[in-house]
């Protein structure tokens, strides 16, 4: 018989050391997008292995052609489901640095929240599962299910190496599981936990636009040559119309329409457009006509430019025709679109809309398809029970607009169910300055996780 009260007490009493472990991870600038930080990315992996071992788990690094995967496991429990906990130890770049109130890699607690890059996305959330497993072990109880941990260092740049690892013959055995548990998303609100049954996919591109061999005086040369910055803006702006509809031919062909029942369920969720607009500091919301804000964020595809460069952006004016310009942009995808198909469509669009007088280079950076899992699975019912015990109220079922590119491969290659249990909040500032995690969410997420192993053990195993 497991003693859940002993685990609750243990988790309550060891909060300071839990925070210490979180700090240890948050101090490492494991920025996967920037090759200058590859040493820190590896340091984060090494630190995680140390942490697992200190807590009494078997752990190892799995080398790849990029950042290593961290793998750890608890003993097998025959006849019970096998759980794979997935998370990521890499983080997004912290820029713009000047907007941080305290430095991004010096975790600081203010008002019950811990501020640092990676606090919510995903070091803090991922750690809840490590801590909950350690609470079972430290209170002398054997875990009722086998738990495997797979923590990667490339999620924020598309999980290319993990994708390659999943194709290795040994991966299927090593990662064999019934359900993948992921905490890398958000609750529905400050006091409203959620279980997420769908994520959007993504197709990410970079484009370079080349003109004259050097910047030119726009008076002397303007009128004689095409300006790469102008031509690039013209091209990109044709990808979307005034009302937010994407103009790439064929783009919507594979889009799975929303279920009427989903629309009804989401309409019952409390959501206020004006409040949402105020929270993010805009006067009005914008998006595809005919859909509510939640529908547009969770279940409709979108187009966004993430970065745009070219020419002069310093003080005062400078009259040049820039030699080159460039942009980063992506499409969020929904089932049943595929990033490969969208990449083809985007390439065809660029080819057929090639602006005159410049040379273009389109680079397909990375992508991953969206996913929707069965909201009525027994695993979701088990998670519901664990969450209700820890948060004092049941979770609502939602989809989210963010992407975790590897999830679709877990479903496909491992044949596993997926449980997306976000402990974060919408206003945690993931990818933004002053990212944070509410300590209360960290602690109750850990408690919910500790209950989850117990409730999952009661789900019939496929083995
Ligand atoms: N934690 C996010 C994914 C997420 C965000 C899920 C919000 C649900 C709600 C994850 O770390 C992330 O940001 N992923 C990237 C993936 C991309 C770079 C391939 C994303 O969604 O931009
Ligand atoms: Zn992220």
User: pLDDT tens across 153-167, in order?
Assistant: 999 999 999 999 999
Confidence of residue 11 (pLDDT cuts 50, 70, 90): very high
Q: Do residues 171 and 103 make contact, with C-beta atoms less than 8 angstroms apart?
A: no
* Ligand 2 midpoint to CA 63 (Å): 22
Residue 90 known to be catalytic: yes
Strand runs labelled E in 409-455: 417-420, 436-438
Residue 284 known to be catalytic: no
* Ligand 2 midpoint to CA 74 (Å): 27
Q: CB neighbours of 116 closer than 8 A, spacing ≥ 6? A: 26, 27, 104, 105, 106, 107, 108, 435, 436
CA gap 229, 247 in Å, rounded? 21
pLDDT in tens, 350-372: 999 999 999 999 999 999 999 99
201-255+301-368 is classed CATH 3.10.105.10: no
**Residues 306, 307, 310, CA angle at the centre, nearest 5°?**
160
pLDDT in tens, 14-59: 999 999 999 999 999 999 999 999 999 999 999 999 999 999 999 9
Average pLDDT on 285-308 reads 97
Of 89, 87, 91, 105, the closest CA to residue 26 belongs to 105
Q: What is the pLDDT of residue 232?
A: 98
Q: Do residues 64 and 164 make contact, with C-beta atoms less than 8 angstroms apart?
A: yes
Average pLDDT on 293-309 reads 98
Protein residue with least CA distance to atom 4, ligand 1: 402
Tally Cβ neighbours within 10 Å of residue 352: 8
Strand runs labelled E in 200-301: 201-210, 216-217
* Ligand 1 midpoint to CA 170 (Å): 28
CA gap 202, 189 in Å, rounded? 25
Q: What is the pLDDT of residue 443?
A: 98
CATH 3.40.630.10 residue ranges of the chain are 4-199+371-456
Tell which CATH architecture fits domain 4-199+371-456.
3-Layer(aba) Sandwich (3.40)
Residues with CB under 6 A from ligand 1: 121-122, 155-156, 158, 184-186, 199, 202, 366, 400, 402-405
Q: Tell me the H-state helices in 97-227.
A: 124-138, 160-166, 169-174, 218-221
CATH 3.30.70.360 residue ranges of the chain are 201-255+301-368
Q: Do residues 414 and 172 make contact, with C-beta atoms less than 8 angstroms apart?
A: yes
How far CA 422 is from CA of 186, 287, 439, in Å, comes to: 4, 25, 14
Crossing angle between the packed helical segments 439-456 and 4-13, to the nearest 10 degrees = 160
Which is catalytic among the residues 73, 152, 154, 155?
A: 155
Strand duo 302-310 + 324-333: pairing: antiparallel
Is residue 314 over pLDDT 70? yes
Is residue 460 over pLDDT 90? no
* Ligand 1 midpoint to CA 6 (Å): 35
pLDDT in tens, 47-105: 999 999 999 999 999 999 999 999 999 999 999 999 999 999 999 999 999 999 999 99
Looking at every residue in the chain, the average pLDDT score rounds to 97
Residue 180, CB-side half-sphere exposure with 13 Å CA sphere: 26
Top mutation candidate among 156, 299, 304, 368 for ligand 1, by most atoms within 8 Å of CB = 156
Tokens representing 269 are 């969720």
Q: What is the pLDDT of residue 181?
A: 98
Protein residue with least CA distance to atom 5, ligand 1: 402
Residues comprising the chain, all counted = 463
pLDDT in tens, 191-234: 999 999 999 999 999 999 999 999 999 999 999 999 999 999 99
Q: What is the pLDDT of residue 462?
A: 65
- Number of helices and strands (H, E) in the chain? 15, 18
Q: What is the pLDDT of residue 2?
A: 85
Q: What is the pLDDT of residue 461?
A: 75
Q: What is the pLDDT of residue 421?
A: 98
What is the distance between the terminal CA atoms of the chain, rounded to a whole angstrom? Answer: 23
Protein residue with least CA distance to atom 7, ligand 1: 402
Confidence of residue 463 (pLDDT cuts 50, 70, 90): low
């Amino acid at each position: 018989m497991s003693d859940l009260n002993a685990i609750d007490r243990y988790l309550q009493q060891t909060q300071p050391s839990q925070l210490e472990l979180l700090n240890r991870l948050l101090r490492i600038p494991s920025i996967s997008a920037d090759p200058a930080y590859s040493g820190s990315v590896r340091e984060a992996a090494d630190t995680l292995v140390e942490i697992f071992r200190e807590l009494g788990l078997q752990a190892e690094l799995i080398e790849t052609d990029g950042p290593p995967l961290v793998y750890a496991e608890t003993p097998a429990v025959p006849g019970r489901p096998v759980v794979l906990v997935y998370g990521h130890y890499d983080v997004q770049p912290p820029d713009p640095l000047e907007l941080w109130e305290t430095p991004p890699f010096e975790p600081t607690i203010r008002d019950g929240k811990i501020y640092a890059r990676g606090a919510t996305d995903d070091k803090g959330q991922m750690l809840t599962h490590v801590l909950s497993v350690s609470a079972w072990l430290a209170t002398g109880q054997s875990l009722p299910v086998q738990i495997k941990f797979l923590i990667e260092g490339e999620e924020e740049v598309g999980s290319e190496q993990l994708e390659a690892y999943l194709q290795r013959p040994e991966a299927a055995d090593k990662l064999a599981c019934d359900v993948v548990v992921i905490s890398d998303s958000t609750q529905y609100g400050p006091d409203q936990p959620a279980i997420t049954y769908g994520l959007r996919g993504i197709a990410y591109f970079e484009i370079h636009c080349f003109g004259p061999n050097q910047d030119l005086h726009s008076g002397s040369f303007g009128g004689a040559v095409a300006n790469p910055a102008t031509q690039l803006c013209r091209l990109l702006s044709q990808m979307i119309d005034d009302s937010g509809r994407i103009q790439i031919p064929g783009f919507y062909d594979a889009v799975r329409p929303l279920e009427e029942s989903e629309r009804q369920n989401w309409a019952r969720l409390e959501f206020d457009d004006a409040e949402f607009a105020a929270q993010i500091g805009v006067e009005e919301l914008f998006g595809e006509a005919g859909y509510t804000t939640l529908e547009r964020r969770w279940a409709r595809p979108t187009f966004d430019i993430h970065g745009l460069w070219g020419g002069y952006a310093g003080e005062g004016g400078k009259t040049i025709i820039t030699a080159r310009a460039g942009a980063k942009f992506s499409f969020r995808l929904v089932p049943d679109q595929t990033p490969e198909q969208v990449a083809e469509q985007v390439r065809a669009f660029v080819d057929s809309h090639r602006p005159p007088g410049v040379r273009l280079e389109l680079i397909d950076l990375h992508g991953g398809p969206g996913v929707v899992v069965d909201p009525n699975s027994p695993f979701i019912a088990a998670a519901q029970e664990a969450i209700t015990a820890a948060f004092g109220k049941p979770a609502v079922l939602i989809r989210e607009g963010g992407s975790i590119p590897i999830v679709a491969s877990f479903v496909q290659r491992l044949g596993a169910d997926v449980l997306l249990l976000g402990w974060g909040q919408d206003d945690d500032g993931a990818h933004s300055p002053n990212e944070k995690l509410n300590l209360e969410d960290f602690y109750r997420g850990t408690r919910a996780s500790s209950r989850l192993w117990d409730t999952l053990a009661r789900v019939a195993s496929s083995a």
